[in-house]
Chain A
Amino acid sequence: MARRLPRKDVVIVGLGWTGSILAYELARTGLEVVAIERGPWRDTATDFNIGTAPDELRYAVRHDVFLRPKQETLTMRNNPSQTALPIRKWGSFLPGNGVGGAGVHWNGQTWRFLPNDFRIRSHMIERYGEGFLPEANHIQDWPVSYDELEPYYDKFEYLAGISGKAGNIKGDMQPGGNPFEGARSREYPTPPLKQGYAQELFTKAATGLGLHPFPRPSANISAAYTNPYGCSMAPCTYCGFCERFGCANYSKASPQTCVLPALIREPTFEARTDSEVTKVNLSGDGKTATGVTYVDLNGEEWEQPADLVLLCAYGLFNVRLLLLSNIGKPYDPGRNEGVVGRNYAYQTGSGSTAFFEDAKFNPFAAAGSLGAAADDYNSDNFDHAPHGFVGGASITCAHTNGRPILYHPTPRGTPTWGSKWKKAVNETYQRVTNVGAQGSVMSYRNNFLDLDPTYKDPLGRPLMRMTFDYQDNERKMANWMAERCDEVAKAMGAKATQLNRLVGPWSVVPYQTTHNTGGAVFGNDPNTSVLNRYLQSWDVSNVFVMGASAFPQNAGYNPTGTVGALTYWSLDAIQKYLRSPGPLVQL
């Protein structure tokens, strides 16, 4: 039986980016806020210390800072006719754990989605006709526009000190920036990172092909910066230990560098770590949350009553908590009804590997977001009519690291061991770069999340089941993009290139991307969304759900910038809710 703790105004589940921002903004107004985090407390000086942080085996290979599958994982299958099996070891994506969440170990690419991405369904139908959309799609317009989100994107970027070059300030085009981006109200907080030799070649080649390259926006920042919360960051040293690592230099924006030092000083805030929230408790009629139940390290169960419940876990685990708490109607793909778990989407990866006769790319001198990109083939920035697919990709030439356990490339066809392998590794490391396309994934009837009938976590609760595969639309798009990447790679002067196409079913084995989206989608219609346009549950109005789980489908970008913007957008609505509790959208 759970022991009941004193009531709080606000309980936050998960202390990553979204949880720490909301905790700070609400605690500073005097509210009693408790954040419950299932992983450990983590901070730069102790956990990402410069003497221990650059350890590829510990962090990148053995997954030290990630959620351990033993504690929670998902089951997975490619389509509903198959039997799902547990993801016993992370591969394709890497969920975070502990204070800071995935904000600790991300690469730091911080994008805004394009104006068209927010009304992609309407836009595509207007331009190409309804028949152009893929079969069995669930593509939905977002319930907010780019213009509505712009001030909140700005807020998140200034919180994180993002380094970049604006392409469009209030409609005035800026040389060197991305001409396709939506208008922004001001320049980035810090100038772009320096680019390496590969990016120099890419920028020249892409420009020659008529594309519009620019340095991509980065949360590994280029200059010292103090954010509006008073938290200070230091310039990036291009050490090449970003993704899968905490930053020892205070150079990568994270809850640790940008929020926690301010948050912890708020006397009405407390964090409880190593404590797993098992469910959101509801009133008898199921319309109000009364708080949450959690289990601590000793297996003891506690009830934390609260007036407001904010789900701020990784998107996938927000969806699972909704399912386990009976909030919202679970999605049933057979009947195509229900909403929780609907519209799960992901990201495509394709491109071209470029081998040079003589180059010294020094891939170890890198940062998670260092890279040059071009958006000419993203979203609807090009005419899709001849191609028969929707969506697009950002094309990038990047070196995020040169860590040799996982990065010792060889040309395709090289043996995987022996003298020939050794020679190829020795000859290739400095002479290879890559032009990659990170693409959108639309939402479909048969890509979804629900509870697994067989497999359980250590507390006996069902694991979530992921049913996902790339559909024809995404394959067509990604493979067309691979050819575009190859054109650029050849123009860069590569002596040989290798196309990386999207082939075979989606697999959990090779790392692809931790950009899992959807499952608790926001929208204007409760029949096709879990949350209203303010990220408030349609069914339980004192529950708000943050994260990429709200995306109706995924765009051709990394999600964190948009997750941050949505958090600040929802914060304004939460403050309105606190003045006058109840549904913020009346039907």
Chain B
Amino acid sequence: MTRRSLLASAALLITTVGAHARVVTKVLPWRPNEAYPVPPISPGGYLFFTSGEAAVVDAIVDRLIPADDLGPGGKDAGVTVFIDRQLTGPYGGHDWLYMQGPFSLTPLPSQGLQSPLTPRQQYRLGLAALASYCNATFGGRGFAQLNPDEQDKLLTGMEKSEVKLPGFDSRMLFNAVHTNTMEGYFADPIYGGNRDMAGWKLVGFPGVRYDFRDVIDKPNQTYALPPVAMQGRPAWGEQN
């Protein structure tokens, strides 16, 4: 039997059983060169954030990971774009999580996530509450207009839940941005952050080379090759 006729008979078997399940029998159901890649993110514009929100997120992520002699900050590493695109996908709606009620108002810390608010709602409501707070507290200046010391002090207060934003838990907003900033700074650049693999260079992660037998063979030695991402690396030329 040729491969082609084998595939044809497998296709036939898939359709002969009436049940609406995927039925697999006789041959493994895959074809060469078939895989499930994620679509690469192109920077430019925002799909979820308003320009005002994006400016505040830029300012926050640049305090969480400031630009310094160790490398670019969160903003230049594309973290805001990363967050924006994540919020428009299944993560932003908690699409895969268990979101049925009732939602307890008094969960135990050991019971973890219990808020009905999706990440999209956390950003939209949280950033609006932060804007009102800054407007009232800093004489009409928004977060992005504060100086770095003021920004750090405010973020510290949010992290400790000492700052009371109107109608929104300041720590929830802080945690959302902090978690997503770490993701965006260290995730594969295909998602829009970690630009030029800045996060990987910061720690010395060589990326997805997928073969480190040479490293295992040379214990306690510096790894000298630059990082590689799923789409390669800029020095390899234009990516398709």
How distant is the Cα of A455 from the Cα of B101 in the complex, in angstroms? Answer: 8
14 A–B contacts from the bound complex (CB under 8 Å): A49-B37, A63-B96, A85-B111, A87-B98, A88-B98, A237-B210, A239-B209, A274-B21, A274-B22, A296-B20, A300-B19, A302-B21, A404-B205, A418-B66
10 additional contacts, CB 8 Å, given A362-B215, A362-B223? A43-B30, A45-B35, A56-B186, A61-B187, A70-B97, A82-B108, A83-B104, A238-B211, A274-B22, A362-B212
How distant is the Cα of A509 from the Cα of B113 in the complex, in angstroms? Answer: 8
Can you list, as one digit per residue, whether each of A356-375 has a CB less than 8 Å from chain B (1) or not (0)? 00011110111000000000
Report chain A residues within 8 Å CB of B202: 422, 425-426
How distant is the Cα of A500 from the Cα of B198 in the complex, in angstroms? Answer: 31
Report chain B residues within 8 Å CB of A249: 210
Interface residues of A in 205-241 (CB under 8 A from B): 237-241
Report chain B residues within 8 Å CB of A504: 110
Can you list, as one digit per residue, whether each of A124-143 has a CB less than 8 Å from chain B (1) or not (0)? 00000000000000000000
Q: How many contacting A-B pairs (Cβ < 8 A)?
A: 247
- Interface pair A405/B183, CB less than 8 Å apart: yes
Q: Is A47 an interface residue (CB 8 A)?
A: yes
Q: Is B191 an interface residue (CB 8 A)?
A: yes
Q: Is B2 an interface residue (CB 8 A)?
A: no
- Interface pair A70/B110, CB less than 8 Å apart: no
Interface centre among A88, A194, A300, A429 (most CB of B within 10 A): A88
- Interface pair B223/A85, CB less than 8 Å apart: no
Interface residues of B in 159-195 (CB under 8 A from A): 159, 178, 181-183, 186-188, 190-191
Interface residues of A in 36-61 (CB under 8 A from B): 36, 40-41, 43, 45-47, 49-52, 54-58, 61
Report chain A residues within 8 Å CB of B24: 41, 264, 270-273
Given known A-B contacts A52-B37, A200-B219, A418-B64, A365 and B212 have beta carbons under 8 A apart = yes
CB distance from B110 to the nearest CB of A (A): 4
How distant is the Cα of A91 from the Cα of B35 in the complex, in angstroms? Answer: 28
Q: Is A461 an interface residue (CB 8 A)?
A: no
Q: Is B100 an interface residue (CB 8 A)?
A: yes
- Interface pair B183/A57, CB less than 8 Å apart: yes
- Interface pair B96/A52, CB less than 8 Å apart: no
Residue of B nearest to A86 (CB): B98
Interface centre among B91, B220, B222 (most CB of A within 10 A): B220
Question: Which stretch from A71-79, A443-451, A545-553 is at the chain B interface?
Answer: A71-79
- Interface pair B110/A509, CB less than 8 Å apart: yes
- Interface pair B112/A61, CB less than 8 Å apart: no
Q: Is B114 an interface residue (CB 8 A)?
A: yes
Residue of B nearest to A404 (CB): B186
Interface centre among B98, B206, B216 (most CB of A within 10 A): B98
- Interface pair A45/B26, CB less than 8 Å apart: no
Report chain A residues within 8 Å CB of B37: 49, 51-52
Report chain B residues within 8 Å CB of A238: 211-213, 215-216
- Interface pair B109/A507, CB less than 8 Å apart: yes
- Interface pair B219/A196, CB less than 8 Å apart: yes
How distant is the Cα of A70 from the Cα of B100 in the complex, in angstroms? Answer: 8
Q: Is B34 an interface residue (CB 8 A)?
A: yes
Cβ-closest 4 pairs across A and B = A365-B212, A365-B215, A49-B35, A197-B219
How distant is the Cα of A315 from the Cα of B102 in the complex, in angstroms? Answer: 27
How distant is the Cα of A426 from the Cα of B209 in the complex, in angstroms? Answer: 21
Q: Is B65 an interface residue (CB 8 A)?
A: yes
Q: Is A580 an interface residue (CB 8 A)?
A: no
Q: Identify A416's interface contact among B27, B152, B159, CB under 8 A.
A: B159
- Interface pair B188/A296, CB less than 8 Å apart: no
CB distance from B22 to the nearest CB of A (A): 5
Interface residues of B in 24-57 (CB under 8 A from A): 24-30, 32, 34-38
Report chain A residues within 8 Å CB of B182: 405, 408
Q: Is A275 an interface residue (CB 8 A)?
A: yes
Q: Is B8 an interface residue (CB 8 A)?
A: no
Q: Identify A52's interface contact among B159, B187, B219, B230, CB under 8 A.
A: B230
Q: Is A382 an interface residue (CB 8 A)?
A: no
Q: Is B95 an interface residue (CB 8 A)?
A: yes
Residue of A nearest to B34 (CB): A46
Q: Is A430 an interface residue (CB 8 A)?
A: yes
Report chain A residues within 8 Å CB of B159: 416
Interface residues of B in 65-88 (CB under 8 A from A): 65-66, 68, 70-71
Report chain B residues within 8 Å CB of A429: 203-205
- Interface pair A57/B23, CB less than 8 Å apart: no
How distant is the Cα of A239 from the Cα of B208 in the complex, in angstroms? Answer: 8
- Interface pair B178/A417, CB less than 8 Å apart: yes
Interface centre among B28, B29, B99, B222 (most CB of A within 10 A): B28
- Interface pair A267/B26, CB less than 8 Å apart: yes
- Interface pair A269/B212, CB less than 8 Å apart: no
Q: Is A89 an interface residue (CB 8 A)?
A: yes
How distant is the Cα of A297 from the Cα of B114 in the complex, in angstroms? Answer: 28
